[in-house]
Structure 1
Amino acid sequence: MSAFNKRIALMVAGIAVSLSGCSMMKGDDETAQAEPVSQPMNVIDITAIDRAPVEPDDDDESASQGMDAYGAIGQPPLYSSVQGAYKGRPLTKHIGDYVKNMTQDLIANMEYVNEKTPIGVTHFALIDTDLQTTDLLGRQMAESFVHELHKFRVPVIDFKATDYIRITTDGDFVLSRDYLELSSSLPIEYVLTGTMAKHQGGVLVNARILGIESRAVVASAQMLVPFYVVDALIPSDGSQQNGMRDGVRLSRG
């Protein structure tokens, strides 16, 4: 056999081997497709990041309740300052928002009070005391009511204002709690006051407007303020000493 014929024979043999290999690979693929292959078990690895609270979603009820993707309640965040720390859910509303709603209720059923009848606002008293004791919530509610009444153009008299400005090393002040420094004659015809009672889930606030001379109730409102809104109020001194009840500083009216 000549060299040329040998070369042709080797080329034909190589092509045959290649076709045979392709046929075997195709047969192996068909066999693999015919026989089901068992899949590995799906194991979920829950890490610390997975346990973290998810961002609230308007369409997700569990997310709005502070739950993660597995239904567990996440660790609440910690809000701190130099005065103290508030540990709870992130606030979407503060005490001023609840006072705003109560003011609207007062205005809706108010009688006799108008833009020509001056009104005073006092602190809210704890209902289970002698009505001469308040706390930080009672003080802040009075401040918020002053703001909301003024927005409705109801004339508000701040009876804690003096007729001079006291300049001290701690600051410049015009307000005082010393009755000897305050005027005893003010044109107040009505007064907004109220009481507070601890309730399951919050503090029940009762607000009303009274006539100074008649003592008649000319407007009233009631609302439950959740505990997480109340607890967000932090005393300026952060004190945990005497005068505290359930973590809230009390004071005489």
Structure 2
Amino acid sequence: MMMKKLLKVALYGISVLALASCTLKAKEPLPLPPGHLQDGNGLPPTAVMDHLAARIVNDLVRHHKDYIFSKMMLVATPVTVSEFNQSSDFGRQLQQSLMTSLQQQKFNVVDINLAQSMRITPQGDFILSRDWQQLRDDALVEYVLVTTYSFNQSGMQVNSKIVDLAYQQLMSAAAAHASLAEFGAYLEPSRTSVSESGIIYRYSKPGEGKVKLMGGSNE
């Protein structure tokens, strides 16, 4: 009788250990993707933009101050460090990707481009607008995400800051580098002759100067 009880206890112990082993294995992190996917290389153009936004937002989360998730936040359109009053297709797309990544990280994001009413037209039904007269003016926003970018020979430097509008205090900051190899659909190497701020720079071969936005200007 005693031998049967000992056998049952032993079998029960083995079962518990087996279940515990399965549980531990289930909680183990999944293997990391190959290196070319970790830095965004090899991803399609739209995915590589989302990848950059996710890297920035993850950095913002790591370095944030308290209560940042409870505040209403809007995302400003990214601009170059030399021109604060205009952006580009790249900047506008990065803005949308940042909004998506912020919401996925549980930030309270406000879409400032939401109009007061839907516009029904033969071309479609629209509610987004860039006309300030059509936008709502009652958004209770406390924080804003401000992003600037600059260019160098190997790619683009992107800096993002969450700023308290009332006190102009930085609540979090992040930086990321977007390489030419990673953003080949958006960036192109410099040419042998480059004009910047009215000055012409000449190089011995393409790629020796700063990269530029595809089909656009860095200014």
Question: Same fold by TM (over 0.5)?
Answer: yes
Change beyond 3 A, Cα 1:149–1:113: farther
1:222 and 1:211 mapped to 2: Cα distance? 18
Q: What is the identity, as a one-letter code, of the residue corresponding to 1:111?
A: K
Match of 2:70 in 1: 116
The separation in 1 between residues aligned to 2:86 and 2:43, in whole angstroms, is 27
Cα contact 1:99–1:144 (8 A) shared by 2: yes
Whole-angstrom CA distance in 2 between matches of 1:210 and 1:246: 27
Please give the secondary structure, in 1, of the residue aligned with 2:68.
coil
Deviation at 1:199, TM superposition (A): 1.4
Instruction: Check 1:233–1:213 CA distance in 2 against 1; reply closer, same or farther (3 A cut).
Output: same
Distance 1:193 1:136 in 2: 17
1:103 and 2:49 aligned: no
- Runs of 4+ in structure 1 off by over 3 angstroms are 89-93, 112-115, 228-231, 245-250
In the alignment, which of 184, 190, 193 is matched to residue 146 of structure 2?
Answer: 193
Structure 2 counterpart of 1:107, which letter? V
Q: Superposition pairs for residues 129-140 of structure 1, below 5 Å?
A: 129=83, 131-140=84-93
Greater Rg over alpha carbons, structure: 1
Q: Structure 1 residue 91 and structure 2 residue 38: aligned?
A: no
TM-score relative to the length of structure 1:
0.55
Q: 1:228 offset after TM fit, Å?
A: 4.0
In the TM superposition, 1:159-238 aligns within 5 A as 159-233=112-186
Amino acid paired to 1:119 = M
User: How many residues are treated as equivalent by the alignment?
Assistant: 155
Letter in 1 for 2:104: K
Question: What secondary structure sits across from 2:162 in the alignment?
Answer: strand
Structure 1, unmatched stretches of 5+, are 1-57, 59-63, 65-88, 235-244
Shift of 1:205: 0.4
Q: CA offsets per residue over residues 127-170 of structure 1, 9 Å max, x none?
A: 122x1121122111111111111111111000110121112222
Question: 1:138–1:204: structure 2 CA closer, same or farther, 3 Å change rule?
Answer: same
| Equivalent position SS for 1:146 | helix
TM-score normalised by length of structure 2: 0.63
Name the CA distance, whole Å, in 2 between partners of 1:119 and 1:161. 14
Q: Structure 1 residue aligned with 2:79, among 105, 116, 125?
A: 125
% identity of equivalent residues = 22
| 2:112 paired with 1:154 | no
Question: CA separation in 1, counterparts of 2:216 and 2:101?
Answer: 25
Would the aligned equivalents of 2:68 and 2:171 in 1 still touch at CA under 8 Å?
A: no
Unaligned regions of 5+ residues in structure 2, if any? 1-33, 188-211
Q: Distance in 2 between matches of 1:248 and 1:193?
A: 25
- Secondary structure of the 1:123 match is coil
Distance in 1, matches of 2:141 and 2:167, equals 13
**Residue 64 of structure 2 aligns to which amino acid in structure 1?**
M
Change (3 A) 1:233 1:164: farther
Alignment of 1:28-39 (within 5 A): none
Deviation at 1:95, TM superposition (A): 1.4
Residue type at the aligned position of 2:79: A
Q: Which residue of 2 aligns with 1:242?
A: none
